Chain A
């Protein structure tokens, strides 16, 4: 059998298994083993199973994944989101559309301690949606704002998806996190501008707060500031490794939650279990991806794809846009994390061959998969909001989020045109 045939058959089998609901990691693992076996023999292929899965689950560099997941779960279960929204409302609520602005701000603050978009959207739906509804916002607008704001979870560091990208491409996770800061701030500003400019004066103003009250509201958000500084700044200044920062962040979140009486022992135990479940699901995909990597290496798919795309003559940016388009299309069907783990090893050689910066590409890819969280047919954030607010239909939420999708595309193009926006901060890193 030729390598081309094995590669083609492998990808057909992979997509067929995934469509038939076989866990993505298992589908990748099986195709990896049998594809590798078709070229080099069954014995050596099966022997990969003796080494590779154990190496993956005992890889020290990957331990930061459960820690960041745990930090996010603890932050969610400690009720920190309510204080963020309260502070946002105190500062911005008096403006027209102020509650929408406060929701975006609170999502951003929460994203700074939680690396999950879905958790950010779910938590903010609980806090912000009832307030916006009470103030007279339509369901379409309020849920659209929250769904879009939720996507900040995987962009603003610490981001679990960025961490996994760093592991797969062997890039410094600290650099990736720092690179996500400015695009994250840009996303917040552009979302806020969308609330103001798109909906304009049609949105009502909320209660006005005095300056003293506004400053008082900041007392509730010190924990978020402390956690962000502890994790991101310590990585930026090289005080600790990313893994240590993740562990310290998780421990601090637990301590803060317990000291403030918002995290009981049973809730802490639930959080640990929840973090474990989420982390194991990610690890299974990583195990599969490692096995799939042997298949890619032996069939030389990435090299063939690189050559094919370069031969198309679409130029650097044309090729990049083709790749991003592929991610957007796949985002309609695949989970963001799974998509990064499956597709990045295949397209990464193309990106480096074309001379793009791997750190910049990590941020671009995360922003691209973000789109999949709020666009049909999967749109995970939209589904989660719908499950919490069953009275609001899915089409209504999708309609509400569309202006933000347009802004996301605009932001993506901006960062492609001006990579320095992403890279100037990490380039000054210690």
Chain B
């Protein structure tokens, strides 16, 4: 196994771990909203702060999901031209595209850090339990920092071994593999 391939595999493992945590968070928020709805309609007693906590926690999960997309390359994008190009030109296009993504993600890191600081000093809090917003915003910011890291790794993989970007098609590639196997 080549160096880039080995590094890519170990990073895939880390990304999968992050995705699983974020996925579990998505599942927990789903359950929280249902419990709150049942509490409100049946017992006239919703779970406090469901509105704020679920949206903020899900925001953190989405931000960490950005790291996954930066690595796998499965953003929604136009693949038509890239697919028509020879391998070398496609690599150049992929490199340019991910360089632009890196620039955008760096801008997010810079400006969202300011938002985190503003939330720290402004004392923003949730409506009912008065939970401070800033830890959630910090979680979001850390997810975007992770996305910078994974985007750089993908750029390196494109440059070193000409790895292509994954395609977004609204369906997981594992499902397609399962379907083919069965």
Chain A interface (Cβ < 8 Å from any Cβ of B): 17-27, 29-30, 33, 46-47, 49-51, 53-54, 57-60, 63, 66-67, 70, 73, 76-77, 116-119, 122-123, 125-126, 239-241, 243-244, 247-248, 250-251, 254, 268-270, 272-285, 333-335, 337-338, 377-378, 380, 383-384, 387-388
Contact = CB atoms under 8 A, between A and B. Distances in A.
Interface string B54-69: 1110110111011011
B30 interface: yes
Contact of B62 (A51, A248, A280): A280
B93 A54 contact: no
Given A20-B93, A49-B112, A50-B111, A270 B174 contact: yes
B120 interface: no
A292 to B, nearest CB: 13
Task: Please report whether the interface of chain B is mostly helix, strand, loop or mixed according to DSSP.
Answer: helix
Contacts of B128: none
Nearest to B170: A118
Contacts of B69: 23, 277, 280-281, 284
Interface string B118-140: 10000000000000000011001
A274 B172 CA distance: 6
Interface string B12-47: 000010011011101101110110010001000000
B41 A240 contact: yes
Given A29-B104, A275-B23, A284-B69, A23 B174 contact: no
B75 A269 contact: no
B6 interface: no
Interface of B: 16, 19-20, 22-24, 26-27, 29-31, 33-34, 37, 41, 51, 54-56, 58-59, 61-63, 65-66, 68-69, 72, 74-82, 93-94, 96-97, 100-101, 103-104, 107-108, 110-112, 114-115, 118, 136-137, 140, 165, 168-172, 174-176, 179-180, 182
Contact of A281 (B24, B51, B76): B76
A46 B108 CA distance: 9
A19 B115 CA distance: 32
A369 to B, nearest CB: 13
A284 B111 contact: no
A47 B111 contact: yes
Given A126-B179, A380-B169, A384-B169, A57 B33 contact: no
B34 A284 contact: no
28 contacts: A18-B77, A18-B78, A21-B81, A30-B100, A30-B103, A46-B107, A54-B59, A57-B62, A58-B58, A60-B54, A66-B62, A125-B179, A244-B37, A247-B33, A247-B34, A251-B30, A269-B24, A275-B26, A277-B74, A280-B66, A280-B69, A281-B75, A335-B170, A337-B170, A338-B76, A384-B171, A388-B176, A388-B179
A118 B171 contact: yes
Contacts of B41: 239-240
Nearest to B62: A57
Contacts of B168: 278, 281, 335
Given A46-B111, A116-B171, A244-B37, A21 B77 contact: yes
A244 to B, nearest CB: 4
Task: Please report whether the interface of chain A is mostly helix, strand, loop or mixed according to DSSP.
Answer: helix
Nearest to A46: B111
A333 B20 contact: no
Contacts of B65: 276-277, 279-280, 283
B101 A54 contact: no
A279 B104 contact: no
B171 to A, nearest CB: 5
A118 B74 contact: no
B76 A20 contact: no
Contact of A272 (B26, B77, B96): B26
Contacts of B59: 54, 57-58
A119 B179 contact: no
Contact of B76 (A77, A243, A244, A282): A282
B175 A276 contact: no
A78 to B, nearest CB: 12
Nearest to A29: B104
Contact of A63 (B29, B31, B34, B118): B29
A388 B176 CA distance: 7
A273 B20 contact: yes
Contacts of A274: 172, 174-175
A276 B78 contact: no
Contact of A76 (B58, B61, B107, B175): B175
A119 B171 contact: yes
A125 B178 CA distance: 12
B76 A337 contact: yes
Given A63-B54, A118-B171, A70 B76 contact: no
B68 A49 contact: no
B34 A251 contact: yes
Contacts of A119: 170-171, 175
B75 A284 contact: yes
Contact of B30 (A20, A33, A250, A270): A250
Contact of A21 (B51, B62, B93, B172): B93
A70 to B, nearest CB: 7
Contacts of A22: 77, 96-97, 100-101
A369 B132 CA distance: 42
Contact of B82 (A21, A279, A335): A21
